[in-house]
A and B are shown apart, each in its own frame.
Chain A
Amino acid sequence: MDEKKHRLIMDRISKHFPGVKALTNVSFRMFPGEIHVLMGQNGAGKSTLIKVLTGVYSIDSGEIRLDDKEIRAQSPLEAQELGISTVYQEVNLCTNLTVSENIFIGREPMKRGRIDWKEMHAEAKVLLKRLNVDIDPTKQLGEYSVAIQQMVAIARALNISAKILILDEPTSSLDSNEVNELFKVMRKLKSEGLAILFVTHFLDQVYEMSDRITILRNGEFVGEYKAEELSRMELVSKMIGKEMDEMEQVQELVESHSSIGHQSPFLETKQLARKGSIERFDLKLYPGEILSLAGLLGSGRTEIARILFGADRADQGELKIKGRSVNLKSPRIAIDNGIAFCPENRKSEAIIDDLTIRENIILAMQASLGIFKYLPKKKQTEFADEYIKLLNIKAPGPETLIKNLSGGNQQKVILGRWLLTNPDLLILDEPTRGIDVGAKAEIMKQMGLLCQKGMSILFISSELEEVVRTSHRIAILRDRHKIAEIDNHNVSQQDIMKAIAGGVPNEK
């Protein structure tokens, strides 16, 4: 393949932000007609590399050559005119506009000073056909599924002169059928000679789609590999370096500590329910135990978590904490009862993005102390430093704004916020979603350590491997019902999947 002509060469690119070396001498290249996967943990420099290529950031040093001509795009628009098209992770389309309006927004075909609607719809149709999508471009975009919307985003990104298509985690919000559709389109575009830069966290997809893989770690270039010559193990170990075997330790940690049953539960629910979100359920949470909620998205996992934290109110049933009946009317009351909650949507429900790491960490504790018992700044910094160290948060210091951290590090800050309040029950709703393997392993290790210290943990994750590895008991949810509960003795992922799908395990 190396004899072929390069489409893109990024040579020894460096980019520094204040206090952070985002990229150091990173090289990256692409050939026409290939799918190239960029791998690395969060914070490894993938996003920065893409933003440099698309003109969002300017580079400090290095050279970018497109078809053997040096380019230096100053803006995403300029990059697109040069032939570099991007579809971002969060699709930024307007669902209340029509499909063709979305495709041509800002560059509508004109005729005599007015928008040529006929031409626009016709062209939209042609563009979408190329992507194997046959829909009515005059209809509102919101009427179509997320997968179709993704295609529309691709159609918008692809103009005739597109040479490189960047897909930044396009599959994270798609189900498996939709992913397959997307892959079909990607293969077609590849066969037409387009170079596709594909970013994903899913290893299966990496091996299904990629021709070559470039790996980054801590802003540095690790290597470029042909997909068929790099095993999964090698790939993961190259991405995360030394943190590899921590996952194994977690499992041992949890397994070494399964002597529960004699104690009384910390929290117990009897026929608790909330109309429209979760049917009546019984649940017992013991100190020193990890209970997982397994089920599909929308099966009622998050709903249970929110009720137990007082974020939503139950309208039926009873909830007891340490044997005492409690009405959790608000998060405030739940926190006062020793409950902590890391919500699913980190960005909208957990982090306060304009505040510093320090402020984010002490926030819950300060809220418990109230307005007048203000922690002195020195004490705050001590706490922040303590948790930055304990959870291995990668940041220049406690005064860094949390919005400048990678997802994994933000999650660790939120975990630190709750550990500081020393809760009896920690509810973790998808704590590992969208974060890299290293941070995942660290968070799971913490879970193991915490339950050993006697904390009760309610764990929600879509990744069954994590569920099987970390939990003592697993509650299965389907369609807003709790349908079963299994003790985790050599339970396999398949067993859980069967239970979720409807094959009823007998150990209720």
Chain B
Amino acid sequence: MKNKLFWPLVTLAVLLLANLIHNHDFFSITIQDGHLFGSLIDILNRAAPLVLISIGMTFVIATKGIDLSVGSVVSITGAMACLIISKGDGSSMSVLFTALGISLLLALAAGAWNGLLVSLLGIQPIVATLILMVAGRGVAQLITDGQILTISSKPYSFIGAGYLFGLPFSIYIIAFFFIIASVLTRKTAVGLFIESVGTNPTASRLAGIRSGLIIFIVYVLCSFLSGISGFILSSNVSSADGNNAGLWYELDAILAVVIGGNSLNGGRFYLSGTIVGALIIQTLTTSIYSMGVPPEVTLVVKSVVVLVVCLIQSEAFGSVFAARRRKRDKAAKQGVSA
């Protein structure tokens, strides 16, 4: 576990230090109107949706699966919540909870759909979730009638833009779900079963594990967390954009999981690695903007950093260097003896 976290943490530290060199106030945190402000807080706040989705994605990937539909689920729940709130009284708490409840039911249904396709029908995860990736965005656009739906609701916007005890509320949300996820994997057998099913589904079934149920559960969990992210994203801007909300989140989430040291082959997973992975991605995005990198090269810079992180963690890449070093040592030795 320590080994797995080492490189992601080093990468994160390097990124933060690079920012510090460029901007000496990078680590400073100030208090305005009782709220804490600063780049670090900002990164945490903006990373919240990605962190949540990545936690879910970690479970899915640990079962040797993948969920491409997370971005679409984000747009669905955002759209649904905004729609219900726009029809009712924006300041009413009961309207808010109705909106959240119904939207989360939708997210659970989306997860159940994915889970059934994968576990019951045995469709390959990448194909099964591709269906909802495409269809889901369509559903979101149907909900918002193809428009960007803008709402004005104080209680709803608190989710993504509010502050509690000086910190953005979204940070509490990710802390809460990270703790829940950790408890789920440490204090119950869910973690063991996920790793077992991800490593060898047949053997797991023959050991008495309901492999199908476990696979079903991880897709439902993943969709549920994506749904929560949908609230954070849409409430932050007080609007729902079926077309663009959560766009490409599936790719960032997969990347966060992989950068965090998790294998796409399933089996062992590292939640804390995933969190660090998601923070790396957000830090990268933030620093590219704050350093004033021209927008047309940001994507290239981002991909180069990701490539480097992946190379560092690649065993094959490491062994190439080890072999070269051995050869050099050998040559040096022969040189001495000759």
Contact = CB atoms under 8 A, between A and B. Distances in A.
B31 interface: no
A354 B199 contact: yes
A331 B203 contact: no
A332 B203 contact: no
A283 to B, nearest CB: 21
A348 B188 contact: no
Nearest to A367: B208
Interface in A314-334: 330-332
Interface stretch (A19-27, A94-102, A213-221, A370-378): A370-378
A74 interface: yes
Contact of B203 (A309, A350, A366): A350
A395 to B, nearest CB: 18
A60 to B, nearest CB: 15
Interface residues of B, number: 23
B267 A354 contact: yes
Contact of B200 (A311, A335, A348): A348
Contacts of A374: 187-189, 192
Nearest to B191: A374
A366 B200 contact: no
A427 to B, nearest CB: 11
B196 A363 contact: yes
Chain B interface, >50% SS class: helix
Interface string A143-159: 00000000000000000
Interface string B165-199: 00000000000000000000001111011011001
B302 interface: no
Among B189, B206, B207: residue with most chain A CB under 10 A: B207
Contacts of B205: 311, 330-331
Given A74-B323, A354-B199, A331 B206 contact: yes
A369 interface: yes
A355 B196 contact: yes
A168 interface: no
B129 to A, nearest CB: 24
A371 B208 contact: no
Given A370-B189, A371-B188, A374-B189, A351 B200 contact: yes
Contacts of A466: none
A375 B192 CA distance: 11
A431 interface: no
Among B187, B195, B208: residue with most chain A CB under 10 A: B208
Interface in B261-284: 267-268
A214 B157 CA distance: 77
Contact of B209 (A74, A353, A363, A373): A363
Nearest to B208: A367
Interface in B143-166: none
B199 A355 contact: yes
B119 interface: no
B202 A349 contact: yes
A417 interface: yes
B207 A367 contact: yes
A352 B188 contact: no
A366 B189 contact: yes
B222 to A, nearest CB: 17
Given A372-B188, A374-B187, A417 B207 contact: yes
A350 B202 CA distance: 8
Among A332, A348, A351, A371: residue with most chain B CB under 10 A: A371
A343 interface: yes
Contact of A349 (B193, B195, B196, B206): B206
> Which 7 pairs show the lowest CB-CB distances between chains A and B?
A367-B208, A354-B267, A335-B208, A354-B199, A367-B209, A364-B207, A374-B189
Given A331-B207, A363-B204, A364-B207, 5 more contacts: A311-B205, A352-B195, A353-B199, A363-B196, A367-B210
